[in-house]
Amino acid sequence: MEKYTDQTFHVALGELLRNKYGDSMGRYSITPFIMGVAKKTGLSHEYIRLMLKEERPLRTDVIEAAAEVLGIDAHYFLEYRVSWTHWQMERYPEVTNKLHDVARSLVAAMERSSERAN
């Protein structure tokens, strides 16, 4: 498995659940997974189900619990990395300028590379 995914939480989670709990056809029951996340977060089964269907805002504690249930690092998920980076920028304001400069340089390099490819 790759260290990180660029897919949204919901898409990446579906793939992970199919791989971990799926039968030969890729079908799986999400109930045991939701029960594990509910136990770790104290949230109701229904609230987590709605969050996984994108009918409620995704919470970082749910991402952390999901990762723990699956035995992976929460940083695997894109939304968690975005939130973590935001937290660190709030915690260490001096990092913000450096991170911004690095991100701008990377984006500019990616855009130049994309323009050359076209």
First to last CA, the chain: 31
Confidence (pLDDT) at 12:
95
Confidence (pLDDT) at 1:
72
- What does the mean pLDDT of the chain come to? 91
Q: Is the pLDDT at 48 greater than 90, yes or no?
A: yes
- Quote the DSSP letter at residue 53: T
Which domains, and CATH codes, for the chain?
9-117 (1.10.260)
Quick check: 11 and 77 in contact, CB under 8 A?
Answer: no
Confidence (pLDDT) at 19:
85
pTM of the model: 0.84
Q: Is the pLDDT at 15 greater than 80, yes or no?
A: yes
pLDDT tens profile 65-96: 999 999 999 999 999 999 999 999 999 988 89
